[in-house]
Amino acid sequence: MHRNRSIGRQLRPGSAQAFTLVELLVVIGIIAILMAFLLPALGRARESSIRIKCASNLRQIGLAAINYAAENKGWLPDNRSAQPHYVANRSGFVGWYDSRPMWQKYIKDINCFYCPGFAGDMQGRKVVAQHADDRSQASAPKDPQVGWRGTPPGVPVDLYVSIHYSILGGWSRPGTPNRRIVLLLGPEEAVPETDPPLAWRPMLPARIGARDSSQIPLGADATLREPTTPVALTQGRMLAQAAALGPDFWTSHRRRGRFDGLNVLFLDGHVVWRGAEKARPRMTYNTGSSNYDYLYWY
């Protein structure tokens, strides 16, 4: 009789029963397992959306370059800056040059020059503008620079104007118009153990209409390596060493803190994603000697 009354009390409607510690641990464990499955998928979805937006930005840049060339006898927008990811060169480096007026006629939203996945530099040695209005590095001791709207176009100041993409076609080193980007390797060429001589390799064209335009890069996510710091590359084996080390400057696409690839805009206007297993240092600029300088990925 006492046993039946006890059962009745346990089954009485409206009675509250607390979870045991074991039950709580089981529920927490199940949630943790689900999160372990879901978080990587969410991360991949986010990166996929960033890649799509980034590719769209590069297509707009490519379309603007092609439209500019159509009205200027085939010439691509002229950019004379210290690096291909600068659209204005500081007056303290050879002389002020601003290519923004050429682009503004063909690109209405200048935010397309800034990748949503950009997360700063690789080694903390240098930075570029996070967005078009960024002036945080205007007084930086090395490479002072701002975003697109950081200083008015055409007003000479001792600043660079940086973007998140390297505009390779039409770029030249200030004061030396023949020092342009040199294509060291084709898009599918493996990196050799010995660097090819600069004199044997073609410079990127400064005009539309080149043969094999679908294989010639016009622009890409700014992804590069300096050959002297933080690790000095061996003369004659720079490409192989850089490929093993990876880029040390800005890259917008990473996975677990490592370079994951980049979008590349080609001269015919199409954009291709090249993952880390394919993207390699394949370009430098003509230094006027046999030495390589900055190495650019695509």
Residue-wise pLDDT for 198-210, tens only, equals 988 999 999 988 7
Sign of CA dihedral 68, 118, 147, 250: negative
Q: What is the mean pLDDT of residues 237-251?
A: 92
pLDDT tens by residue, 100-152: 999 999 998 999 999 998 876 666 667 899 999 999 999 988 889 999 999 99
Asked if residues 147 and 131 have their Cβ atoms less than 8 Å apart, the reply is yes
Asked if residues 66 and 60 have their Cβ atoms less than 8 Å apart, the reply is no
Query: What's residue 271's pLDDT?
Result: 97
% of the chain with per-residue pLDDT over 70: 89
Query: What's residue 1's pLDDT?
Result: 47
Query: What's residue 14's pLDDT?
Result: 52
Query: What's residue 38's pLDDT?
Result: 66
Query: What's residue 82's pLDDT?
Result: 94
Which has more pLDDT, 143 or 279? 279
- Give, in degrees to the nearest 5, the angle at Cα 166 between 160 and 168: 110
Range with the poorest average pLDDT among 13-17, 166-170, 172-176: 13-17
Q: Residue 146 pairs with which residues in a beta bridge?
A: 161
Query: What's residue 96's pLDDT?
Result: 94
Q: What is the mean pLDDT of residues 36-41?
A: 66
For residue 291, give the amino acid letter. N
pLDDT band at 47 (very low <50, low <70, confident <90, very high): confident
Strands 86-89 and 181-183: unpaired
Q: What is the mean pLDDT of the chain?
A: 88
